[in-house]
Amino acid sequence: MQTPRGARRTDTKLSDGRDLIYYDPADAPVRVPPADTRGLDAPKPQVQLRTDPLTGDVITYATHRNTRTYLPPADQCPLCPTKPGNPTEIPDHDYNVAVFANRFPSFAGPGRAEVVCFTSDHSKSFTDLSQGQARLVVETWADRVAELSARPDVEYIFPFENRGREIGVTLSHPHGQIYAYPFLPPRIRTLLARAREHRDATGGNLFADVLAAERTQGTRVVAENPTWTAFVPEAARWPVEVHLYPHRQVADIAELTDAERDDFAELYLNVLRRFDGLYGEPLPYIAAWHAAPVRVDRELGYLHLELLSIRRAADKIKYLAGSESGMGAFISDTRPEDVAETLRKAGS
C-alpha cells in the first residue's frame, strides 16, 4: 500500500471483494469505514483482447459492460454515499474522494479499471470543486498511478474524465476513471513514434519543444501560472481543445512536486470555468491524461492533460463522420487561434 504525500488513505473491501479506497485531507480524522452490506456476488467479467492484423491495434471486448448501470435517477445513484434505501458502491455516509475497482471493468486479469469519485456531492462537477478538493483529487491520481505502476500486468496508466451526456456518460455523479492498460494504446504508440523521430532528428524532446514554441508565440496560450501553461494546440482536432503542460518534463502525475500539484489544480479549474463560460452552460468534455509508459520509452514521454469538447457551437455537436471515422483525417470548423482568444475572453 502506498502512502500519499498530501492525503490520508483508508483501504477497505466491498462485499464482492473489490477494493475501495477513501482519500481524505491529511489532517482529517481517522476514517473507520463501515461494511458493505449488499452481499454482492463476486464479479465475473468477460474480457477478451484481440489484435487487428491490419493496424496492430489491440481491441478490447468486454461484453459484460452491456449490463452496466445507465443514467439512474439521482436518488438511486451508485456513486453517492450510502443512504437508507440506497446502498451504493460507497458504504460510508460521506466521503471526500473515493476510488474503487470498477464493477463493470473494461480490463480484468491483465490490466485494471478503477472509478474515481471526485466528491460525494451529486450536484457538483469538477468545475465546482474548491482548489483544496481539486488538489486532493490530484493526490489521489498520483497515489493510484504509483501503485498501479508496480503491477507486472500494466503497461500504460490513463486517468480520464468524461462529462456530459453528449460524450456518452452513463452516470452523472462527478467522477472519472483510471484504465491501467495491459498494452500501449494506439495513440500513445503514435505519439512515442513521433517523439522518437524528433529526438533522433533534433536531440530534443518533442513535447518540451512544442510547449516552448507555444509559450514563445503566445497566440494560442489560454492561461498560465509559475509551473503550468494551458494552450490550444496549433493543429487542434476538436472544436474546443486545450492542452495543459507542466514547465518541467516529468513522466507521470506521481513525479509532480507539491508546488506543481498546487498549480495544476489552480490552472485546471481556471480552464474548466472558461469552458463553461463559452456558452453559459456546462460544456461536455473529455479530460485525458497523457504520460510516459510504465516501462518502455519513459524518457520520450512528457506528462500533460488534453482537454477537449465535441461542441462546435452553442447548439451544434461535432460528429466523427466520414473523413474522421473512415480515414482518421480530422476536418475542423474552428481555428485554434480563434478558440484560444474566445477562451481568454471567457475568463475575463
pLDDT, greater one: 320 or 212:
212
pLDDT of residue 32: 97
- pLDDT of res. 70: 81
**pLDDT score of 341 more than 80:** yes
CA distances from 90 to 13, 35, 73, 81, 280 (A): 10, 10, 17, 5, 33
Residues 172 and 197 in one domain: no
**The C-alpha cell that represents 158 in the structure block:** 490513463
Question: Is residue 117 annotated as involved in ligand binding?
Answer: no
pLDDT score of 347 more than 80: no
232 and 125 within one domain = no
Question: What does pLDDT average to over the chain?
Answer: 95
Q: Does 229 have pLDDT greater than 70?
A: yes
Amino acid 348: pLDDT: 61
What local confidence, expressed as pLDDT, does residue 43 receive?
A: 87
Residue 50 is assigned to a structural domain of this protein: yes
**Grid cell for residue 249:** 518534463
Q: Give the Cα separation of 122 and 124 in Å (integer).
A: 6
Q: Distances from the Cα of 279 to the Cαs of 36, 52, 87, 316, 345, in angstroms?
A: 42, 40, 37, 11, 12
| 157 and 27 part of one domain | yes
How many C-beta neighbours within 10 Å does residue 205 have?
A: 18
Residues 81 and 169 in one domain: yes
Same structural domain, 163 and 197: no
Query: pLDDT tens digit string along 270-308?
Result: 999 999 999 999 999 999 999 999 999 999 999 999 999
Look at phi and psi of residue 218 and say left if phi exceeds 0, alpha if psi is from -120 to 50, else beta.
left
CB 304 within 8 A of CB 246: yes
| Contact between 260 and 248 (Cβ < 8 Å) | yes
Tell which of 181, 213, 234 closes a domain: 181
198 is catalytic: no
**Contact residues for 222 (Cβ-Cβ < 8 A; gap 6+):** 230, 231, 232, 242, 271, 274, 340, 343, 344, 347
pLDDT above 90 covers a percentage of the chain that reads 91
pLDDT over 80 (residue 323): yes
Residues 70 and 119 in one domain: yes
Query: HEC profile for 193-205?
Result: HHHHHHHHHHCCC
Q: Is residue 120 part of a domain?
A: yes
Residue 318, in any domain of the structure: yes
Helix and strand totals (H; E) in the chain: 5, 15
CATH code, 91: 3.30.428.10
| Per-residue model confidence as pLDDT tens digits over 126-143 | 999 999 999 999 999 999
Answer yes or no: do 123 and 13 share one domain.
yes
**Same domain membership, residue 190 and residue 175:** no
Radius of gyration of the chain (CA): 20
**Close Cβ partners of 233 (under 8 Å, ≥ 6 residues apart):** 210, 214, 220, 241, 243, 336
Per-residue pLDDT at 2 exceeds 70: no
Of 175, 198, 243, 304, the active-site residue reads 175
What's the rounded Cα separation, in Å, for the pair 232 and 181? Answer: 28
User: Is 3 a residue whose pLDDT tops 80?
Assistant: no
- Domain assignment present for residue 242? The answer is yes
Report the alpha-carbon distance of residue 281 to residue 54 in Å, rounded.
42
Confirm whether residue 80 is marked as ligand binding: yes
Instruction: Find, among 103, 343, 124, 138, the residue nearest to 239 by Cα.
Output: 343
* Residue 173 is assigned to a ligand binding site: yes
Residue 326 lies in a domain: yes
Three-state SS string over 50-111 comes to EECCCCCCEEEEEHHHHHCCCCCCHHHCCCCECECCECCCECCCCCCEEEEECCCCCCCCCC
Domain boundary among 163, 181, 199: 181
Residues 254 and 210 in one domain: yes
Give me the mean pLDDT over the 67-88 stretch: 92
The answer to whether the beta carbons of residues 192 and 292 sit under 8 Å apart is no
Q: Looking at the structure, do residues 162 and 223 belong to the same domain, yes or no?
A: no
Q: Helical H runs in the chain? A: 131-148, 186-202, 206-217, 258-277, 336-346
Expressed as residue numbers, the domain containing 331 is 186-346
- Tell me the pLDDT tens digit for each residue of 144-163: 999 999 999 999 999 999 99
Instruction: Point out the domain boundary residue: 181, 202, 234.
Output: 181
Q: Indicate whether 312 belongs to any domain.
A: yes
| Same-domain pairing of 156 and 236 | no
How many structural domains does the chain have?
Answer: 2
243 is in an annotated binding site: no
Other beta carbons within 10 angstroms of residue 155's beta carbon come to 19
Contacts of 73 (CB under 8 A, 6+ apart): none
What is the pTM for the complete model shown? 0.96
Task: Give 26-56 pLDDT, tens digit per residue.
Answer: 999 999 999 999 999 998 888 999 999 999 9
Confidence band (pLDDT; 50, 70, 90) for 246? very high
Q: Is residue 1 part of a domain?
A: no
For residue 157, give Cα distances in angstroms to 4, 177, 291.
18, 11, 8
169 lies in the same domain as 214: no
Mean pLDDT of 76-97: 96
173 lies in some domain: yes
For 242-272, b where at least 16 C-beta lie within 10 A, e where not — what string?
A: bbbbbbebbbbbbbbeeebbbbbbbbbbbbb
